[in-house]
Structure 1
Amino acid sequence: MTSFRPPEFAEGYSFGRWHSRVRGAPEVFGQFPASCLAEEIATPGAGQIRALLTVAGNPVLSTPGGDHLDQALPELDCMISIDNWINETTQHADVILPGQSVLEQPHYDEMFWSWAVRSAGKYSPALFDPPEGTWAEWKVILMLSALVNGASPESVDTESLDQLFFAGLVAGFVQSPGSSIEGRDPAEIVELTAGVGPERILDFQIRTGPFGDAYGADPEGLTLAKLKAEPDGIDFGPMVPRLDEVLTTESGKVELAPDYILGDLPRLRESLESNQEGLQLISRRHVRSNNSWMHNAPGLMTGKERCTLLIHPEDARARGLEEGMRAEVKSQAGRVEVAVEVTEEMRQGVVCLPHGFGHDKPGARLSVASQRPGVCNNVLAPGDLVDHLSGNAQVNGIPVEVHLPRAG
C-alpha cells in the first residue's frame, strides 16, 4: 500500500560492487553477509571494524558461527546497543540504551503487508503513554548519528535532524521519474506532511503510494489521517498486475536465468551428484517464538520442551536413540547435546533443530529464557560454509553426526 523504492534503484539493481575485506564476499543491496561480522572484527588491518551498534538484535544467537562473534565482540573499542534486554549479545555493550515498549508506540506493519495477497493496511495507535523521559528508538539513532559526526550532546537538536532527513527524502522522490510527485516543489510537500519521525515518513509513503492522494492530485486518495480514522484498517481488494511498473532489470524481463546463476550450475550439479553420507541438519521456527527475543515472555514459554531434535524413527533406531533421550549433535563447527523427538514427519537422513535458542551463556540476564535455555543451532553452522554466489551463510543442509552422548 505504500510506495518506497529509493530513487537510486530506479535504473535497476547491481551486485558485487565491492567485496568484504577478509573473505571477499560480494556486496548485495549494500550489505555483507552476517557471517562476515566476526572475522571483520577479529582480523587486524586497514578497515578493521572497531565499533558496533546493535538495535534490538541478538546476533550471537541468530547468526552462523555465533560463538566466534561472542569471542570477537569484547575486542571492539566501542559497542552500543539500543535494547530493552541484557541478552547474549548486548551483555558485551559498553552502553545499553533502552527504547520504548512496542505497546508505547504506534505501529504500522511495513514489512508483512508487502507479502499479503490483498492490498490493505492498518494503523495501530499506542496502547500506553511512554514513561516520562524515555526516547523512541528513532530519536536515539538520530542522537547517536550526530555524536558520531562530532557533535556534542548539548548541541544536538533531534527535531532539526528529523526535518533534515525528511527534506532529503522528499527531494529524492520529486526528482524520481514516475513518482506521483515528480516535479513538485519539495518545500510544499514537506509543509503538507504532518507529524515527526517514522509517522511522518509513513504519511509520505501512503500519500505517494498506489492508493494515495499524491498530495492533492487525487482528493479521494488515501492519507495517514484517513487510515487512522478506520480502526479496523482498510482493504483495497486483491492485488492487481503491475510488473511493468516495478521491474528494473536491464532487459525489461524477469531474469530467471542470469549469467551468474547459469555459470554456477556445474558446481551445483557436482555437489548434488556427490555421495553425501550421514545426516543433514535443517532448522525450524515455532508459532510462539520469533528468532530469539520472545523466549523471555513467561506466557510464551509454557508447555512441553520445544527445543528438541526431530529425527526419523529409522535414523533414531540406527543410533540407539528413543523418544526423550539426550543425543549429541556434532558438525565441523561445534557440538550440542539436546533432547530427542522421534517423528515420521522428518525425512530419513534429515534432522531438525529450532532457531533462536541457547540462552545459557554467562552474562546474559534473561530470567525466563534461562530456565529453559535450549541449544543454539547456529553453533553447528560453520561461518565459512556459504552460498558461493551471494556469500550468505548456509544455515540448512549442514552435515552432522548424531549419536548417544559420550560418557564423561
Structure 2
Amino acid sequence: MPSKTVKTYCRYCHANCPMEIEVEDNKLISLKPDVDNEIFGGYTCLKGRQMPEQLYLPERILTSLRKNEDGSHTDIGSQQALDEIADKLKAIKEKYGPRAIASYNGTVSFQNSATHPVAKSWHVELDSPSYYTSITIDQPAKVGIGQARMGFWAAGQHTWQDSNVALIIGNNTLVSHYSIPGGIPSFSPSNALREGKKRGLKIIAVDPRKSEVASRADLHLQIKPGQDAVLLAGLIHIILDEELHDKAFCDEHIENLDTFKDNISQFTPDYVAERTELAKDDIIEAARLFAAGPKGCATTGTGPEMGPYPNLIQHLTQTINAICGRHYRAGEKLPNAGVLSPLVPRPAQAVPPTPEWLTGIRSRVSDDIGEVTVLTANGPVKEMPTAILADEILMEGEGQIKALICVGGNPLLAWPGQDKAYEALKNLDLLVCIDYKMSATCEMADYVIGSKLCLERDDLTVLTDIWYEKPYSHYAKTVIEAEGDVIEEWELFWELGKRLGLNLNIREQPLDMVNKPSKYDVLEKMTINSRVPLADIYKNDGGKVYDVPDVIVAEADPATKGRMDLMPEGITDEIAGTIKDADSSLKAKTDFPYILISRRMKNTFNSTGPELSFLAKKGTTNPAYINPEDLAELNIADGDVISITSDRGQIPAVAQSSPDIKRGVVSMAHCWGGAPGERSDDKVREIGANTNRLINNLDHASKYSGMARQSSIPVQLTKAG
C-alpha cells in the first residue's frame, strides 16, 4: 500500500504545532513541520519531533493492568478492568457518598480536546464536587480568582501583535511554549519575538535569571526571588505618582483608585530597590517605559504564580494593565474573538467583580479554601483546588476522598508536598490511572488503563482557540489506528458513566449513553453554534485562518456597565503581608541563605520526556543551576552531588554552573525524581530529584485556592558527603 502524507498537529504540549506525517501500512514513517501553515510558518520544537519514538516506545502500555498483592501488575482486558473499577466505585459511593470519588486531570489531559467537558459532566451527574485539574497547581489566580475579585474588561486586553510594550514577569515562552494572550505567543514564539522587536515593541523582562526571553529584552530586571509583588506595587506607585496613568479611563471604569494609591504609598523607588535588589533607576525606567505604551500588556508566568502572594501578584498585574488603559476600546477591531464558540457581545466596558465565583463548596481543610471558578475554553468551570487534594484524602470524616481517577497526570511528582502526596496516594481505597507509560504514580495504581496517543485520535484546537491572534483553527483527524487495547481519556469517563447509570451531557446536549459517540460527535456538541461550523473545519486539510466577519468592539451598554475594583476584600491584608515579608528579608542571614526557584526545561514537559532517547541525551536529571561564584564559595564543582535543605525537607541534586543565575539563587525544574526515599535519592543522576519534598503544601497556603508556595523557597546548600 503506497504511503500517504497527512497534515496534523502535535499534542505533546499546549502549543499545537502543525506537522506533516508520512504513513504507510498504518505505520508512521516520518514527520516534518508543516511549512505551509500561516500561523506557525513551519515551527516545531524538539519534543514534538520525538513522536515516532513515543508512539512505538517498547515500554508503552498497550493494555490495561491490574495490581497484584505483591505490588506488581498483570495484564487485564480494558472492558474487564472498567467493569471492576465501576463496581468498586459503586461500593465506595454507597458507603462514603459521591464526594469520596475524585478525579485529577493533569497537564497531558488538556491535550485531548474532549477530556475536560466529559470529565466535568461525569462529576456533575455523579454529584461529586471532587473535580481537580493541574490548573490549580500553578495558576488559579490567573485564570479565575483575579477576575472574580477585581472584575475584567469585556473587550479584552491588548495582545502581542497590537502592543508597543510588554512587561513579562517570570514567563519564558521560548522554552515553556505557554503564554495566555498578552505575552509572547506560544505558537512559533521565536518568530513572534523577532517580529515584535522588528516593529519596535519594547520588552521588559522580570526574572531572577537571564532567561531566553530576558536575554532578548530591552530591559531585564534581575529581581530577588519572591519580591514580584513588591516590584509591581512599586511600578504602579511610580505611574500614579507621576500621573502617567490613563486618567480618563480610570475615572470612568475603575473603583477605589485613590484608596489603592494610599495603600501602596510605602512602595517608593528607594523602598522597592532595596528589597528587590534592583537599581532604582531601572525600576523608574521600567515604569515609564510601560506607561508610555500607548498599547501593551503585563503578563505573568509560573515563576511568580508559584511563589509568594500569587493572588496579589495577579491583582497587581491586572491593575497595572487597567490604570494604563491596556484594553480594546469601542470601534477597535479585535485580533481574534475565537472561531469555536458563539460570538458574544464585546462591549467597551468593565465586568464588575464576581465574588460568587469564590463561594462554592468549601474544602474540609479550611473554610478559606474551596471551589473556585476558572475560565476555560468551554466557559467558566468550577473545580476544587489541587493544592489540598492530599489533605482531602488523608483527613478522616465525612467527605474523605477514597477513590481517585488520575487522567494524564503524575501527582506523585506534581502535587506540592511530595511526602504527604505519597502517603495520600497509598491511603486510597482505589487509584486508577490512564497513561501511555508507567509513571511513578502508575506504579502505585490499582488499575492502569492504556491510553491512545495524539496521532491515534481526532482532536480540535479548543484549548488554544482564543490564544491565536487570527481566527485560526485546526481539526486533526486520526492518522494511525491504535494497536492494542487502549482508549482515550474522555472514553474512560464515558465508559464508567455508562456502567454507573449516569446521563452525561455537553453544553446541555445529552451524550448517547448506550452506543459510544464518536469523537466528532463530542466535539460537535462542545462547539455548538460556533462562529465557524465544525463540519467546515473538519473538511479542511490542516490548520486554517478563517474568513469571518471582523469583531468590532461595541459601545458600552449603560444598563450593564460596571467598574473594576482595585480594593476587593483581602487586598489590604495581602499588601501588609508583602511589606512584612519584604522587610524581614533584609534582616540578618538565616540558616537558609539561598532561594530556590522553579524553571522550565526544553527537553521535558513536566514529567514527560526523559523516557525518550533523544531527549534523554539532553540530560536525565534536573540540575541545580547555581551561579559559578556561589559554587566557588561553597567549594562545589560542576557535576557534584549536593544536598539542598529547607525547613521542611532535603533532596539531593546535581550542581550545574550557570552564570545567568542571580547570586544567592538556585534554579530547578519540578516534576522529577521518584517516590520519596533513599532508592530515589541514590538515582539522582538518572531520574533527578523532586523539589516538592522541600515544602509542606499548607505552609503559606493562599486564600481561596490553597495555592502552595512552590518557588522562592529558602534553602541551604552543602556538598553531599
The bucket for the TM-score relative to the shorter chain is 0.7 to 0.9
Shift of 1:205: 4.5
Aligned to 2:690: 376
1:283 to 598, 601, 609: 598
- Are 1:225 and 2:569 matched, yes or no? no
- 1:260 pairs with 2:570: yes
Secondary structure at 1:345 match in 2: coil
Change (3 A) 1:128 1:282: same
- Is this contact kept in 1: 2:413–2:673, CA < 8 A? yes
Report 1:132-147 matches (<5 A): 134-147=486-499
Evaluate the alpha carbon distance shift between residue 80 and residue 305 of structure 1 in structure 2; reply closer, same or farther with a 3 A threshold.
Answer: closer
Q: 1:165 aligns to what?
A: 505
Aligned to 2:395: 43
Select which of 355, 373, 390 maps to 2:670.
Answer: 355
The residue number in structure 2 matching 1:402 is 717
1:326 to 2:664 alignment: no
Alpha-carbon distance between aligned partners in 1 of 2:448 and 2:432, rounded to the nearest angstrom: 6
Is residue 430 of structure 2 the alignment partner of residue 78 of structure 1? yes
Do the aligned partners of 2:352 and 2:563 also contact (CA within 8 Å) in 1?
A: no
Is the contact made by 1:359 and 1:370 (CA closer than 8 Å) also made in structure 2? no
Partner of 2:521: 200
How much has 1:78 moved relative to structure 2? Answer: 1.5
CA contact 2:435–2:451 (8 Å) conserved in 1 = yes
Distance in 1, Cα, partners of 2:464 & 2:613: 26
What amino acid does structure 1 have at the position aligned with 2:712?
G
Classify 1:47/1:205 alpha carbon distance in 2 versus 1 (closer, same or farther; 3 Å).
closer
- Give the 3 Å change call, closer, same or farther, for CA 234–372 of structure 1 in structure 2: same
Whether the aligned pair in 2 keeps the contact of 1:330 and 1:401 (CA below 8 Å) is: yes
Structure 2: how far apart are the matches of 1:40 and 1:84? 27
Kindly report which structure 2 residues correspond to 1:30-109, keeping only aligned pairs within 5 A, or say none: 30-109=382-461
Tell me, yes or no, if the aligned pair for 1:323 and 1:341 is still in contact at 8 Å: yes
Residues 204 and 53 of structure 1, relative CA distance in 2, 3 Å threshold: closer
Residue 360 of structure 2 aligns with which residue? 17
Q: Which runs of 5+ in 1 are unaligned?
A: 172-189, 213-221
Secondary structure of 1:352's counterpart equals strand
List per-residue Cα deviations over 1:307-342 (Å, max 9, x = no partner): 111112232233222222221111122211111112
| 1:123–1:228 Cα contact (<8 Å) kept | yes
The one of 360, 363, 370 equivalent to 1:26 is 370
Note the 1:332-347 alignment, pairs <5 A: 332-347=647-662
* Number of equivalences: 351
Inter-partner Cα distance in structure 1 for 2:594 and 2:580: 19
**1:115-139 deviation line (CA, Å, top 9, x unaligned):** 2333311111111012375433322
Change (3 A) 1:387 1:370: closer
Matched residue of 1:402: which SS? strand
C-alpha RMSD of the superposition: 3.6
Asked if 1 retains the 8 angstrom alpha-carbon contact of 2:342 and 2:528, the reply is no
Query: 2:52 maps to what in 1?
Result: none
Output the CA distance in 2 between the equivalents of 1:90 and 1:244.
53
Relative to 1, partners in 2 of residues 1:129 and 1:11: Cα closer, same or farther, differing over 3 Å? farther
Deviations 1:67-110 (A, max 9, x none): 22112212211122222222211222211121222221012232
| Alpha-carbon displacement from aligned partner over 1:248-268 (angstroms, at most 9, x marks no partner) | xx9734445433334421112
Shift of 1:385: 2.5
Q: Does 1:3 find its partner at 2:341?
A: yes
Query: Could you tell me whether the CA contact under 8 Å between 1:53 and 1:79 is conserved in 2?
Result: yes
Q: Give the % identical residues.
A: 23
Deviation beyond 6 Å, 4+ runs, structure 1: none
Alpha-carbon distance, 1:392 to partner:
0.6
Q: TM-score, normalised by structure 2?
A: 0.44
> Where in structure 2 are there 5+ consecutive unaligned residues?
1-337, 345-350, 374-381
Which residue does the alignment assign to 1:114? 466
CA contact (8 A) 1:360 1:373 kept: no
| 1:311 maps to 2:629 | no
Cα distance in 2 for residues equivalent to 1:65 and 1:237:
49
Q: CA deviation at 1:10?
A: 12
Q: Residues 87 and 308 from structure 1, CA distance in 2 versus in 1: closer, same or farther, beyond 3 angstroms?
A: same
Cα distance between partner residues in 1 of 2:684 and 2:478: 30
After superposition, the Cα gap between the structure-2 partners of 1:42 and 1:132, relative to the gap in structure 1 and judged at 3 Å, is: closer
Distance change in 2, residues 1:48/1:288 (3 Å): same
Residue 375 and residue 196 in structure 1: after superposition, are their counterparts in 2 closer, same or farther (change >3 A)?
same
* Amino acid of the structure 1 residue aligned with 2:383: Q
Shift in Å at residue 198 of structure 1? 4.3
Q: Could you say if the C-alpha distance between residues 298 and 384 of structure 1 is closer, same or farther in structure 2, counting changes exceeding 3 Å?
A: same
Q: 1:64 Cα shift?
A: 0.9
What letter is aligned with 2:387?
S
Partners of 1:51 and 1:76 within 8 A in 2: yes
Query: Normalization by structure 1: what TM-score?
Result: 0.75
Is contact 1:38-1:69 (8 Å) kept? yes
Match of 1:114, SS state, is: coil
2:584 pairs, out of 271, 274, 290, with: 274
Contact 2:595–2:666 under 8 Å retained in 1: yes
SS in 2 for 1:399: strand
Q: Give the whole-Å Cα distance in 2 for the aligned partners of 1:73 and 1:243.
A: 51
Does structure 2 conserve the Cα–Cα contact (< 8 Å) formed by 1:70 and 1:89?
no
SS of 1:41's partner is helix
**Cα 1:242–1:323 shift into 2, 3 Å:** farther
